[in-house]
Amino acid sequence: MSEIKGEENLKATRKKVKFTDSIFFIIVIMMMLYVGVCLNLIKLVVMLIDPILVNGGVNEAMIFIIENYLMRIIPFIGILLFTGLVKKYRFIYNSFAMKYENNSFKVLFLGLLIGVFMNGICVLAAVMHGDIKLSFGLTLSQLPIILFALVCVFIQSASEEMWYRGFLYDRIHANYPLWLAIIMSSLIFGFGHMFNNGVSIFSVVEIMITGLALAMAKWQSRSIWLIFGIHTGWNFAQNFLFGLPNSGVVSEVSVLHLDAVNASGKFFYDIIFGVEGAVSSLIIVLLLALASFVMAHKADRSGELRERSGKTTNSV
């Protein structure tokens, strides 16, 4: 009986949705602003500042962090301005704030631990299987750079989450069932990484599943700050703790260093895309998605997947 009612609600929802609230329109708006404006603006700024940084004697590690992570402050500020200034999207802006539902530094720190742990399990599997070898290589003088990198990785990771699990997820969920918001935001998240260095069909699928897991975790925790933490922890651990490729890009400084000459593309490691292109990362993110669903189901919340939030207004 509940399934029939759910189907009726979905049909009724589809009939009521205006074009400006449609998934197509939402995705187009996001692609125009995030990809068309923010990401292209990053490329322009990097092109302008790169000669300045090089001629100014800034070391390669700092240049790498600034250009690949700190510059993501552009989409970070962009999503805050967009959702904060447009009244129709103010509910999304509010969801980023501290103390909104379950947002807190405690939840953020928990997310960091989860992200580091998940990536660490994947790296451990690759090491134990003999796919990679790591050695300690951090000097005391590099410690401030590593700490600076953590802040910049947070900016990069949070900016992606605010666009994908913030704007896209919440905007779709306002007029469509939650399960559709989860799936669509995950698919677009995967497509958004299609042009990364060394990307493959498997890695794109894995990133889509990662998006699914992060969306499920956001739903279960009712906190985008947890997702900020997980994403930051994963990227920071991968690039700056273990010295492995993050979306195909390798850091100039890290706590551990990869023996790249002897690295092999086997079961738990992809030579170009790292653990993100291997089966271990797929398994670990699937476990995160499953754990999130089980926890929500035990709290008798699985019915929320068929509901829409309705958190939007008709004024622009």
Q: Which long-range contacts (CB under 8 A, 24 or more apart) does 117-120 make?
A: 117/233, 118/230, 118/233, 118/234, 118/284, 118/285, 118/288, 119/233, 119/234, 119/237, 119/238, 119/242, 119/275, 120/237, 120/242
pLDDT tens across 248-301, in order? Answer: 788 889 999 888 656 666 688 888 888 888 899 999 999 999 999 999 999 999
Distance from C-alpha of 141 to C-alpha of 153, rounded to nearest angstrom = 20
pLDDT for 2 equals 46
Q: CA–CA distance from 33 to each of 38, 39, 58, 241 (Å)? A: 6, 9, 31, 32
pLDDT for 7 equals 55
Q: Is 130 helix (H, G, I), strand (E, B) or coil?
A: coil
Category of 199 on φ-ψ map: left (φ > 0), alpha (ψ -120 to 50) or beta: beta
For residues 19-32, average pLDDT: 94
What integer best gives the mean pLDDT of the chain?
A: 90
Distance from C-alpha of 163 to C-alpha of 189, rounded to nearest angstrom = 9
For 96, the token pair is: 């980023």
Q: How many residues does the chain have?
A: 316
CB burial class (10 A; 0-12, 13-18, 19+) of residue 104? Answer: middle
Judged against a pLDDT cut of 90, whether residue 302 lies above it is answered with: yes
Q: What is the CA radius of gyration of the chain?
A: 20
pLDDT for 277 equals 85
For the entire predicted model, the pTM comes to: 0.91
pLDDT tens across 187-227, in order? Answer: 999 988 887 777 788 888 999 999 999 999 999 999 999 99
Judged against a pLDDT cut of 70, whether residue 177 lies above it is answered with: yes
